[in-house]
Structures are given as C-alpha cells and as structure tokens.
Structure 1
Amino acid sequence: MDSHDSTFPLIISVDDHTVEPASVWQDRLPEKYRGVGPRIVRAPVKEMTFLGGRFRPVMGEPGDDGPVGDWWVYEELRRPLTRLDTAVGYSRDEIKLEVITYEQMRPGSYDVPARLADMDVNHVQSALCFPTFPRFCGQTFTEAKDHELGLLCVRAYNDWMVEEWCGPDARGRLIPLTLIPLWDAELAAEEVRRNAARGVRAVAFSEIPPYLGLPSIHGDGWDPFLQACDETGTVIAMHIGSSSRMPSTSADAPPAVGSTITFANCCFSMVDWLMSGKFEQFPHLKVMYAEGQIGWIPYILERADVVWEENRAWGGVADKVHRPPSELFAEHVYGCFFDDAFGLRNLDAIGLRNVLYETDYPHSDSTWPKSREVGEAQMGHLEAGVVERIVRRNAIELLGLSDEGLWPGGTR
C-alpha cells in the first residue's frame, strides 16, 4: 500500500466507477445473441450535439471524417466512450465532452491491476464501483426491446463483476455492486439472492423509479425485490443520475444550475423512502446515496419529523409510518460524500454512523490522486476515531467487509 507517512486512515470508497472492458458481454452471452448484444466498434463521429443537457452523437462509417472513438453497440443503441467516462490523469482544461478510445483512457478505468495501482497512489484500500455502459442502475438493459436478452446481459455483467472485476486479482480490494432486471421485481429478487449466495452485499437501484417508467416504492410492486434485500442483507445503492433525469429548472438553465443541485433527486428519494413505510415493513433494509453529499440532510430530517408529527393524519402516512422519520433514517439510510465541509460541521445532526466516504474515480469530479490530502483538509478538525468511522468503519459494517476492510469473497 501507500508508503507515505500519514495518520489518515486508508480509504474505503463507496462510489467509484468501472469502464467495462470490450469483452464483458461477448465472452458471456450465448452465441446467438453476440451479434445484437453489447459490443465495441471503433468508428468516427459523424455528428455530435449537446443541447438541453442531452448528448446526441451519431456514429459514422469507416473512412468518414470526424474524431474516432470506441462505441458500444447494442440493439439500436450507439453509445461512444467519452472523456467524461474517464477523466482522471487529464487536466481540467482537457476534460471535454468528446469521444475517446480505450487507448486514450487511464488503464485503471478498466484493468484490475492498474486500478489497484491507482488506488495505492490515492491512499485507497478498497472500492465499490458503479457501472458505465449499463448506466448507474442498469437503465440500458431496461430500455432495450428484448428483455430476454436484457436479463442475460444483467447476469453477464454481474458474473463479470463478481468473478473478474472483484475476482482473485483484486485481492478483496474491489467490492462487488450488482445489477437487477428493473422491469421484473420477481426476477430482480432472484438475482439479488443469486449474488448474495456468493457474498455480494450491494445492488444498484434508481433514486426515483417512476422517472424510468417504473412503479414507485409506495406501492407493493417492488416488495419481492425489497424482501430479498431485507433477507440477504443486501444494501440498495442509489447513485445520482440513476433516474436518468438530472435535476434542473428549465431547458435554458446553464449546466451550472444542475451541477449545483445534483443532490436534489437524492433528497426527494430519501423523503420517499422515509414516508413509504418500507423500513418498517422490511426492518433490515439499508439504502445509500452515492455522490449525493450530506449537508442537506439535517433540515430534511427536521422537516420530515414536523410533517409526520403534525400532518400524518391527513398526509397518508399514519397507517404505515409509526416512528419519526429521523429515527428511521438513523437505522436505515446512509449518505455518501467526497466534498462537503458543511456536512462535516453538522455530523451530530446527521449521525456519525450514517456517513460514508468516496473518491469518484475515474470521473472528472474525482479527488484522485489527492483523496487523502482532501480528506485531511476536510476532516482535520475531527477526532481520529470519528475520521476512522467515516472513512472506513461505517463501510466495513454496512458492506460486510473484513475487519481489514476487504471483501471476503475476493480473498478466498
């Protein structure tokens, strides 16, 4: 590990990302599906726009003019790899929305030994990684036409995640995060149990499923999935953007508006969960919000408690939420941050045991390779035991890691 002298604990990051190697699905899908399943094609960009927050690239033909990049091709989807998928190692001025090839990204984005080396440089011991091509909770496969193929793609991704990305070469330092077929809660439950049987303790989910055309958590549509998570101790991990709709205010609002309020969907989602009754129906359920930061949490808990106390009779929650939302939060919800000085000054109002740390490698917001220095600057006013809990201990307890901070399934 890192040879620098430092009293700052080795980091367990609960929000990093993997860029899937080109072979993930081609190596695992039945032969009849390989021609329509996800595969990489190298091609130029024929046309590219970025309007109203939506990126629309058009893939050209070999020989066409235009920047050349590696594209994921799946059914009708043509999705290029971009510099925003993997920005570490490049200066801020070089980070633009442009297509790239695998050779133009840092190898740690997709290669396990290179990732571990980059973690060493960054004082990171272990990391939980969200997907790239499937999107943050598998929306790519949910939106596809062929759900039989989509289910095979979800399972193939999970097999790669557990057996290769978090396999023996990772030495327990990479923590698996799996996907579910979001279109079928019973199949989702089966996939949770299949992966839990091999030691997986986290599954990706959407902050606001109705934004994806799926049921809300207020009904019983997700109950088979939630029951499986409750029984297996599988944490429901929700990343900003997992609703495929980043918050903004208008079509002509500059990107800086949305960038300032990226936490908003986490906020809405947390209130959904606190007022849903699901934490009482499934008492072992745990949820976490990746990259949502934490400074907004105290007021939302205060407001939720006031509403529950004063308005529950007509507010539709008296028959299912029997305890103050802040109490439910303390037992069931985790906020994740990498840059939140205000939140760190208000830990008492959030709950020390409800906070997790992250580095966001390899995205443009990542604190790599200075995550230790950033953490020391942010947490220098805190006692060593408090820092240890934020940076390591909470993640160890939540994700069922060894006392040394490693995923047991990767060290057998």
Structure 2
Amino acid sequence: MSTLIKAGADDAKRYWLDEGRGDKGGFIREVDYAANARGLDPLFEGIKIVDCDTHFTEPADLWVDNAPAGMKAKMPHVERIGEADKWVCNGRDFGSLGGNVIAKDKNKLLGKLAFQRYEQIAPGSYDLKERLKDMDDMGIWGHICFQNGGVTQAGSLVALEDDALAMAIIEIYNDACKDRMDASGGRVNCMATLPYWDKTLMNAEMRRVADLGIKGVVLPDRPERLSEGYLAEGGGISPFWEEVFEICHSQSIPINYHLNSSLDAESAMWNNLGFDQRLPISALIHHIGCAATMSNFMVSGLLDKYPNLKIGLIESGAGWVPFWLEGMEHQLSEFRTTINRGLQLSPTEYFRRNFWVSFWFETIAPTKLLDDIGADRILFETDYPHPTSLYPGVQDKLVSVLGHQPYETRKLILQDNAKALYNLPI
C-alpha cells in the first residue's frame, strides 16, 4: 500500500509554519560584521569559491512587474497579513517569504525560521547588487540559488486550476534566473523549476530553460505526488519524464534534489515535542531523504540508461556517505538486487560517477572522510540566508576544516567540483 502524500493547495502554507516566523520568541545574535567581512582568506587565494546552496528570496514585485497582458491582477503579490508579509496569488495564500534570518542590521535571528517582513531582512536576500556585495564580503565568488518562498510550490500551482497562470508564474521565475545570471556575470545562478504535473508543458519549459542556458533544474524527489513516477510500469524511464532526462543527459544539465522530503520527518518524531525540539530532528531526517533519493536512482536502472546524468544532492550533508554506501553494497549483494536487475555498476561506482553532495556545518566529513567520500564528489555551501547558514564566519569555517588540505584539494572542493557539476564559466 502506498503511503504517498499527494501535493495539495496548502503546500506553501505548510512549508513555512506560522510558528516559525517573527522575532518574538527568538534570539538576536549580535554579529561583528566588519570582523567577518574580510573577503577571501589568503589560504584560498586564486580560488573562486562557489557556494552551492543558497536561497534567493523572490523580490516582492517580481511577478506583478513582469505579468503578461491581462494577468497582473492574478499574479503573486505580497500582502501584509497580521504582522507578516505573505504571498497571495489569485486569492490563495502562497505562504511566507521563506527562510530569512539575516537582519537588515547584519545580526542573525536564532530559534526561528525567518523574520516576517521585507524591511526586517538583509537586502542581499532579494536584491542582486546587494547579494554580490555580501558575497564579496564573505569571500564567495559564486552562488547556486534555490527558491525561498512558497510561490513556486508545485502543489499550490496545480491547485490554481489555471495552467496559463501557473505557467506564467514559472516562466517569470525562470526568466529571473536567466536575468540574474547575466547581470552578475555568471556569479549568481538560480536553479530553474518546471511544471511537473503536465508532460507537454514540462517538456516545452525544459527546452526553453536549456535554450536560456540556465545552469540546472530542480526536480521532485517523489514526482508521484503530482503526476507520474520516474519509472514506467515494469521498469525503465516513464515516457512522462523521458524528454526531460534526455535533455539533461545530452546537454550536461544537472538535476538537483534539495533537502528532499522523501521521508516524512513528522512521522518519525515523538508527539508533543515543541517547535525548537522538532526542527533540528526534522532537518537531520531530511538529510537521510537525500540518501534515499540517491538509492532510488542507484537501484532503478536509470543511471545505466543515462550514464552521464549529473545529480546534485543539495543541503544534503556529506558525512553519511561512507556508511550509506557500505550499507547499500551489503544489502544489494545479500538481496541479489544487482544481479536480479542487471545493474551495471555498484552503488559506490554510481556515486563516484553520477552524484555530488554538499557540506557546510560539518567538521568530521571535510577533515577526516575526504578519501572515503571522494574529494571530487563534495561541494561547499553556506545555506545563506537560512537558519542553519554559516553566516557570518564563512572564511573561518573553511580555514578550520580545509586549511590543512593541499591547495589542489581546497581548489577542487571549493571551485572545480561546482564548475564541473554546473558548467560554470570559471
């Protein structure tokens, strides 16, 4: 029996809990920004550091200012509801601004998911010029950016029951990805989204995204929530997804799974835990969701059909990789999965060919496990401007975990791996 939870109209509201917004009940950590805004540490001179998991908060005027003729009144716009700025689209609540804990005064909010209003958050969260200044201060050359608010949540878009409106929202979002890439000289690359619920619309937008030169797309870890699974009945790629995979494979466009929810974190936690008790556990369970998505691909046979497919497991963490691969090797052998399914490679071989993982808060993985994971499989991230971000001490963290590594290894992890995955102009 399937335990799949279908996507729905309340996806955006559920994604950013009211309980987690606002500074009331939170704690403001005072930040000595000047001390941390020293740019690139001398240990990394000559390296263009790419932060492979950040979030670009959708500007309040993004959709209204770019609306097609006759659609302006329907477009997502920001309304002040109570004490919070929220996205509203065609009368529906599309959730909050997303995770923004970096304050306009450069301090950081702890214990909450986000400030409530635009005027509270750092302009670098949503303004490209300010973002580039923040990146320079942190010693970061490039940002790979993912959505922050709930507007592009696919379940919510489907619930509009208006394909023209949903497609306009997606196209405006993806056009903004292209605009930021061009305006930043390739330094800021936002990942595209697709209408995962309609094959014809999705294929057309995938072709358009490829033509725009956007550096990657985000796919759902459980597409069955919206449409069809990746596998056809009896195995092989589903015709629904075939063109998207063919384009990504043939044009070296990476697909990204960002802190997946393939495991229902809520179902694994005890009842009656408080907000600040649930959130840390939930975040860690979602790391295992990334491992589950990786495993699904490894046993599916899709990586034999698409041997050059590039898959980024983003905000995934990295320290779990050696144990998980060891477990997969044992289990697939004991259950004869590799033989039964005619898989061409072992889990470790698939990982070293098709996958990249990312670290930020970890110390053990980048200092002790590089050989076990593979230094060419690891990306660096800060998760700016989310609650668990490394802000403001990015360079200090990198010095502490990579400073003892050879220069070539530092460059590989901080620059070259991202360049290879995202085809960056470095």
TM-score category, normalised to shorter length: 0.7 to 0.9
Deviation at 1:376, TM superposition (A): 1.0
Deviation at 1:222, TM superposition (A): 2.1
Check 1:37–1:297 CA distance in 2 against 1; reply closer, same or farther (3 A cut). Answer: same
Check 1:367–1:139 CA distance in 2 against 1; reply closer, same or farther (3 A cut). Answer: farther
Secondary structure, counterpart of 1:303 in structure 2? helix
1:142-291 aligned within 5 A: 142-163=158-179, 165-168=180-183, 170-210=184-224, 212-219=225-232, 220=238, 221-241=240-260, 245-246=264-265, 249-250=268-269, 252=271, 253=273, 254-255=277-278, 256-291=280-315
Alignment match of 2:87 (pick from 38, 58, 72) = 72
Alignment match of 1:24 (pick from 62, 75, 86) = 62
8 Å contact from structure 2 (residues 314, 357) kept in 1: yes
Check 1:119–1:288 CA distance in 2 against 1; reply closer, same or farther (3 A cut). Answer: same
Q: Deviations over 1:24-50 (max 9, x none)?
A: 211233233222221112232xxxxxx
Alignment match of 1:297 (pick from 288, 300, 321) = 321
Distance 1:318 1:136 in 2: 40
Deviation at 1:161, TM superposition (A): 1.4
Tell me which residue corresponds to 2:123: 107
User: Larger deviation: 367-376 or 271-280?
Assistant: 367-376
Deviation at 1:302, TM superposition (A): 1.7
Counterpart amino acid of residue 86 in structure 2: W
Identity of aligned residues (%): 26
Which aligned segments of 4 or more residues in structure 1 are displaced greater than 4 angstroms?
A: 1-5, 90-95, 134-139, 241-248
1:123 pairs with 2:139: yes
Unaligned runs of 5+ in 1: 45-66, 404-412
Tell me which residue corresponds to 1:6: 42
Unaligned runs of 5+ in 2: 1-36, 233-237
Tell me which residue corresponds to 2:360: 338
Tell me which residue corresponds to 1:387: 410
The CA RMSD measured in Å over matched residues stands at 2.5
Counterpart amino acid of residue 317 in structure 2: Q
8 Å contact from structure 1 (residues 80, 99) kept in 2: no
Counterpart amino acid of residue 343 in structure 1: A
Q: How many residues align?
A: 374
Distance 1:299 1:97 in 2: 30
Alignment match of 2:71 (pick from 12, 27, 33) = 33
Distance 2:291 2:152 in 1: 17
Task: Decide which structure has greater helix share.
Answer: 2
**Normalising by the residue count of structure 1, what TM-score does the alignment of the two structures yield?**
0.83
**Normalising by the residue count of structure 2, what TM-score does the alignment of the two structures yield?**
0.80
Q: Deviations over 1:289-347 (max 9, x none)?
A: 111101111122122222333323xx487335222121111110110111222222112
Tell me which residue corresponds to 1:58: none
